Structure formats: structure tokens, C-alpha cells
Amino acid sequence: MVTRSDQRFLVGLIGAGIGTSMSPPLHELEADRQGLRYYYQLIDLHDRGQTVGELLAAARGLGFRGLNITHPAKQEVLEYLDELSPEAAELGAVNTVVFEPGRTVGHNTDRYGFAAGLSRALPGVPFEHVVQLGAGGAGAAVASALAAAGVRRLTLADLDAGRARRLARAMSVHPSMTVEIIGPADAPERLKTADGLVNATPIGMEGHPGVPVAPEHLHAGLWVADVIYRPLETELIRAARDRGLRVADGGGMVVSQAAASFRLFTGRTPDEPRMISDFARLAGPGGRHV
């Protein structure tokens, strides 16, 4: 039997258009099993007419333990924080804020989320050369995770070449990985010699149908990862599966970033396999829209 703790955790998510977020049930189901009193509140920027700074100050005043931060506020929130974790400082983006006594600290759990999801879905895959499409917020977490996973050569393509250049500069803290920047049109050529492909663009998510690279360029032996989780099976993931390739969908990243945030908020170790089962149930057929 679970013994209920008297400690209360009030947490939440700040972002825009977050009404269908799965974060509340993902966090609260795990907290319930751990016997915690834990409330996860959605705070939608569209409904509030307040800045991230004002919402942060209000949440702190009301006794929140912390907040998750999502699109479009992951960078904007930086100016309201007293301290950054090393991951958040490297990526220049924060998805988790913790209210410590006398200071507000920003963390980034997206990098851990991608790394954990990838190693669960694709254990033992080769990492010598990876092509990554998209150098935005998710792309920064992906590139950093790939460097830590042992990628030696990263080929990076973004429609916005300036974004790709900025990310390549940020990755210079990982001297074991060389970063080459190409235009998206050159991705098929580079894929010929690559071990893996990661999609960190929005192409394939709801409202952005399509594939970021034509399926005929997915060669035998390539592994394919997507950060998109709405839907879980993107056109790219489906095309790769149809070709018999090993794939990692965006669900692993979203669950593991939530698990890492839960740990930061509570100091408790979440049971990630259990949270993955929750996610599968919530996102699966007849489940909640993610």
C-alpha cells in the first residue's frame, strides 16, 4: 500500500496552445503511485495576457515548487532566472524551472529525454555519422545528446542557415564531434553514408504534413529518429518502418523529459518504464489526444 506524504507539490506548465498536453496525467499518475500530493496546472499564455516573467513571479508567490516551460517561452524565460543548470546554459533554453529558497533555477531536460528515448528504442546502433534536420529548440537538445552519445560527425541542415550556424557554434563545447552544415537539398546525398537520421523539424506533425526527406533516400541499415509526438507515427517513421529500418518515435523523448522534470520537482526517482506505459495508454487508440 502507498503511504501518502504530507508534502504538497504544486507545479505546472507555461506555454501557448497547451490544452491537450499530456503532462498533467503523466506527472500526476506517477506522483499518485509514489504517494505524493501533487497538482499539475496548465497555464496557457493564450488565455492569460501576462508575460512569462509575471506568471513566474505569481507562481513563486503562490507556493509553486516549479514549472515546465514550452513553446514559445523556452528562451524568453531565461531573463527571469537567477541560475542555469549546465545543460540549460549550453542549450540556451529552459524547459523546467525550480523555485529554490531565494533563487529561481532553470534546467533543460529535453537533452536527457532525447538521449534516454534513443537508447531505449535503438540500443547498440552505430553513431559514427548522423544527419540531423532542424536546428531549433528541439534540435539543440538533439545535437547535444548525439555528441554525448558518441557521434563523431554530425551533418546539420536547417532551412534557416543562421540557426544551423548558431547551433554548430554552440556544439563546439563537444570537440569529439565535428559539425558540418549543409542546405536541406543536400541531405539525400549525405544520407548515403550516414548511420542515422534525426528529424527535429516540425515536418510531419499535426498541421505540417509531409516528410522532411523523401523516403527513397532511406537506405537499408539506416536508423531513423523523430522528435515529433503528435502524431507518434509520423510519415517519416511509417516510411522507415515500411522499409524495415529501426526507428525511435518522439514518445520516448517526451516521457523521459517529463520523468527528469518530476525528479527535479520532487527529489524522487520516477519509474520511467511505468511512465512509458502510462504514455502508451494515454496516447494509444481511444486514448487521450497528445
Q: Which of residues 113-132 bind ligand NAD (CB under 6 A)?
A: 113
Q: Does 276 bind ligand NAD (CB under 6 A)?
A: no
- Least Å distance between CB 256 and ligand NAD? 8
CB of 147 to ligand NAD, least distance (A): 17
Nearer to ligand NAD by C-beta: 34 or 132?
132
Query: Nearest approach, Cβ of 75 to ligand NAD (angstroms)?
Result: 9
Instruction: Take residue 33 and report the three cell numbers written for it.
Output: 503511485
Rule CB under 6 A: is residue 15 a binding residue for ligand NAD?
no
The answer to the question of residue 212 lying near ligand NAD (CB under 6 A) is yes
Among 32, 82, 100, 160, binds ligand NAD (CB under 6 A): 160
- Asked if 74 is an active-site residue, the reply is yes
Q: Does 203 participate in binding ligand NAD (rule CB under 6 A)?
A: yes
**Which lies closer to ligand NAD via its Cβ, residue 36 or residue 155?**
155
Q: Which stretch binds ligand NAD (CB under 6 A): 20-28, 41-49, 83-91, 159-167?
A: 159-167
Nearer to ligand NAD, 29 or 133 (CB): 133
Please spell the DSSP secondary structure of the chain, one letter per residue.
-PPPPS-EEEEEEEESS-TT-SHHHHHHHHHHHTT-EEEEEEEEHHHH---HHHHHHHHHHTT--EEEE-TT-TTGGGGG-SEE-HHHHHHT--SEEEEETTEEEEE--HHHHHHHHHHHHSTT---SEEEEE--SHHHHHHHHHHHHHT-SEEEEE-SSHHHHHHHHHHGGG-TTSEEEEE-GGGHHHHHTT-SEEEE-SSTTSTTS-S-SS-GGG--TT-EEEE---SSSS-HHHHHHHHTT-EEE-THHHHHHHHHHHHHHHHSPPP-HHHHHHHHHHHHSTTS---
Q: Which residue is nearest to ligand NAD (CB)?
A: 136
Which position among 65, 74, 129, 190 bears the catalytic label?
74
Give catalytic residue positions: 74
- The residues binding ligand NAD (CB under 6 A) are 71, 110, 113, 133-139, 157-160, 163, 184, 200-203, 205, 212, 227-229, 250, 253-254, 257
